[in-house]
Amino acid sequence: MKFSLTWLKDHLDTDASPAEIAAALNRIGLEVEGMEDPAERLAGFRIARVLTAAPHPDADKLQVLTVDTGEGDPLQVVCGAPNARAGMKGVLGLPGAVVPANGMELRKSAIRGVESNGMMCSVRELELGDEHDGIIELPDDAPVGTGFAEYHGASPVFDVAITPNRPDCMGVYGIARDLAAAGIGTLKPLPVPQFAVSGACPVEIRTDDAQGCPAFYGRTIKGVTNGSAPEWMQQRLISAGQRPISALVDITNYVMLAYGRPAHAYDTAKLTGAVVARRAADGETVLALNEKTYTLTPEMTVIADDHGVHDIAGIMGGEDSGCSDNTSEVLLEVAYFDPERIGATGRALGLTSDARGRFERGVDPAFLDDGLAILTGLILDICGGEASEPVHAGAPPTERKTVNYTPCLAETLGGVAIAEDEQRATLASLGFEVADDWTVTVPTWRPDVDGAPDIVEEVVRIHGLDSIQSVPLARKDGVALPTATPQQVLERRLRRAAAARGLNEAVTWSFLPTADASHFAQEGQPLWVLDNPISEDMKAMRPSLLPGLLSAARRNLDRGADGLRLFEVGRRYFRNADGSSDERLTLGVILAGDKSPRSWAQTVNGGKSAAFDAYDAKAEAMALLAEAGAPVDKLQVMGDAGDQFHPGQSGTLRLGPKNVLARFGALHPLTLAAFDVAGPVVAVELFLDAIPGKKGAASFARPAYSPPALQSVMRDFAFLVPASLPAGDLLRVVKGADKANIVDARIFDDFRGAGVPEGSKSIALEVTLQPGDKTYKDEDLKAITDKVVTAAAKLGAELRG
């Protein structure tokens, strides 16, 4: 539900800021989904006076205006509005302003050869209504030079999500009541007007469906003039997302949005005989205000006269009896409809409306008289006329519920201790009546309150839902402690990390055909072959996760998949030389097909799709190892990934020469041929059992973040190194050259060409230095540079001149 701050202040006397009101609404359970300030959209628009208006020299329908903006010299503006004339005051959009209706930014431009310094605006262009026949005309006392937002009184608009159990907050007055109870201002008295009546109602009103329509109140008003609603009402409706239509229609919409009380006005000239709430006849039809015809059933309540149906009761009025510009006498309907009947009818017809949303939640049955009086008073004030005496057909269910309540329940059920006096005051401010024995009488506008827990909810939310502390439940005897092992925790973390990187988890068989298993068997570790397999094709236990993932990739590629990113966390199985079994936790990844689809943006590939390469596999390996807790900064990249991998496009990640944590790269063409997979395909295999464990509980805690006091320093180095030297080796020795000062280093260039000797390459690094308690001096930087150069020289690197 949307409403403006101005509208809220009609019912709530408060000095709170919009931010404070929004925070209070959230605190008491009325979630603010959004808040916007129309004044921001009207920035750049100001009140201006037209000094002169002359015909455009090259356009019959345009005029050239000189406009006084209240600052500096008058501006020249080209305008096509027929009502633009000298002496009038309007709204000028200056260059740089953005027109709310279409998002166009105004600029100084030439229109048919004549310079224009902005735009005189219409109502529609500023989204203040639908009028667009001419520009806005302001009163003579409008102050020239004043921002239009300030003059217009643009007010922040709240968008509040009302839960289905709070029909009392389907009107601005109900929200104001809740805010007043929360201490955000004082609720103003309900403005029920007093007025004279001219005699008995000339139209018979009755209800023949006591179940569907227990009460039907109404009266006629003759001598009305149905023009436009006043500006203040239109602005309130616009803030709620309603389009102003006419005074009579706008007034009924205003009462519904302000007080949560749907109502309807019929043109009495279009009625015949008595107006009755009754059941619809089977197959009876009605043309609704949305210009659709609905076929009704006997389970539906309607408002009808002798001629036929004029209203789907509580949901939508009919087109035939609606008010028009020529309406001079109206019949007002303020009724109470059964919420269940309204909901069933709306669902059966597939028809939603603001009225249905309120009636099926349950409107206040005791608000019929006051609602009719407020509606009548607004029509008399705005449209004129004489009101008849009211007609009361039937009686609404106004019996109030009582609840036996105990104040201690606020703590036992709500989790927060609230003083009894505060609870009494809260309930009283919400309209509840509390007896000395804590018997609580529920107000008629709260059909959602049935028992003591509902009372707890009321006192706790007004006290502040944010006051409830999160307290863990005590662990009862016999309740098991968490039993996940560190290895199980690692598996879960890696699954989440892999999925977050866009990989899709696959679960493949632990059994393989002997040929597939043999292809990935490791030297010195015989296959674990079952003596009694479930199938000859599932005889060997897998020595790697990659065969199963390759088979899954083949099936998907054969069925038209463009690109595959598969991973699996599982175990490899081996039989040791002594005959014992061995299981090792592993993570496998397969990247096959297209890395990205063909596109004009693929300039490197001539618009063709890009394939995965060994660097993609390395990136996945490094990221997942980091998530597993491996010291990735200390890893060495070496060759010998295995016969299953392409020897020139693969490698291993190791801690030292023997501890292999992962292997990655492009699979060998013979491997792809053995599994009948079209390449290229890259793969990763992480040996999680090889990751060293943490050396104590203290290492599990992340150190507190302590930002350095001094700014870091960047230094670039370019080294000539043998072409066969892995760049990662150079990066590692540079990082370790001075651990006290070097906090990071990265390679930003690898050049081979003119100026670089044959058999060499130029590697450029950016080294980040972090001073400690004092800034570096020239001699400090020279000493660090010497350490870097010396460390690099151990690998045969030479600093380029």
d(CA 19, CA 16): 8
Q: Are 10 and 233 in contact (CB under 8 A)?
A: no
Q: What is the pLDDT of residue 603?
A: 55
What is the rounded average pLDDT of the residues 7-24?
94
Q: What's the mean pLDDT in 122-151?
A: 86
Q: What is the pLDDT of residue 471?
A: 80
pLDDT given for residue 534 in this prediction: 82
779 is in an annotated binding site: no
Residue 525 has pLDDT above 80, yes or no: no
216 touches 277 (CB < 8 A): yes
How many residues are given for the chain? 801
SS3 (DSSP) at 413:
coil
pLDDT of residue 693: 76
The pair of three-digit structure tokens given for residue 101, joined into one six-digit string: 């209706």
Sign of CA dihedral 84, 86, 87, 90: positive
Contact indicator for 128, 236 with CB cutoff of 8 Å: no
What is residue 697's predicted lDDT score, i.e. its pLDDT? 45
The per-residue pLDDT for 303 is: 96
Considering only residues 798 and 523, tell me which one the structure prediction assigns the higher pLDDT.
Answer: 798
Nearest Cα neighbor of 455 from 399, 398, 403, 401 is 403
Sheet hosting strand 89-93, strand order edge to edge? 75-79, 59-68, 45-56, 89-93, 119-120
Distance CA 145, CA 49 (A): 9
| pLDDT confidence bin for 702, thresholds 50/70/90 | low
| Helix or strand (DSSP H, E) at 500 | helix 486-500
Most confident of 540-554, 572-586, 698-712: 540-554
How far from the centroid of its chain's Cα atoms is residue 565's Cα? 29
pLDDT of 579 reads: 72
Q: Tell me: is residue 627 an annotated ligand-binding position.
A: no
Q: What is the mean pLDDT of residues 400-425?
A: 93
- Between CA 144 and CA 139 the distance in angstroms is 11
Q: Given pLDDT bands bounded at 50, 70 and 90, which one contains residue 698?
A: very low
**% pLDDT > 90, the chain:** 73
d(C-alpha 646, C-alpha 679), whole Å: 12
Burial of 514 (0-12, 13-18, 19+ CB in 10 A): middle
Q: Report d(CA 42, CA 152) in Å as an integer.
A: 10
**Which range, of 123-127, 347-351, 552-556, 784-788, averages the lowest pLDDT?**
123-127
Contact between 203 and 275 under an 8 Å Cβ cutoff? The reply is yes
Provide the token pair at 528.
């674990």
Q: Select the more confidently predicted residue: 149 or 441.
A: 441
| Poorest-pLDDT segment among 428-437, 530-539, 561-570, 716-725 | 530-539
DSSP conformational letter for 669: H
Q: How confident is the model at residue 602 (pLDDT cuts 50, 70, 90)?
A: low
Is 457 annotated in a binding site? The answer is yes
Task: Output the pLDDT for position 605.
Answer: 60
- Is 458 annotated to bind ligand? yes
Name the amino acid, one letter, at 15: D
d(CA 591, CA 546): 11
The pLDDT of residue 226 is above 70: yes
pLDDT given at position 610: 82
Residue 474 is predicted with a pLDDT of 77
Question: Of 665, 671, 634, nearest to 652 (Cα)?
Answer: 665
pLDDT computed for residue 699 by the predictor: 45
Q: Residue range 657-662: average pLDDT?
A: 91
pLDDT band at 544 (very low <50, low <70, confident <90, very high): very high
Ordered domains of the chain (ranges, CATH): 2-37+156-187 (3.30.56.10), 40-152 (2.40.50.140), 205-394 (3.50.40.10), 411-467 (3.30.56.10), 486-690 (3.30.930.10), 709-799 (3.30.70.380)
Please determine, for residue 211, whether its predicted confidence score (pLDDT) is greater than 70.
yes
pLDDT in tens, 227-283: 999 989 998 998 898 889 999 999 999 999 999 999 999 999 999 999 999 999 999
What's the pLDDT band for 379 if we cut at 50, 70, 90? very high
Q: Are 89 and 47 in contact (CB under 8 A)?
A: yes
Q: What is the pLDDT of residues 77-89, one digit of tens each?
A: 999 999 999 999 9
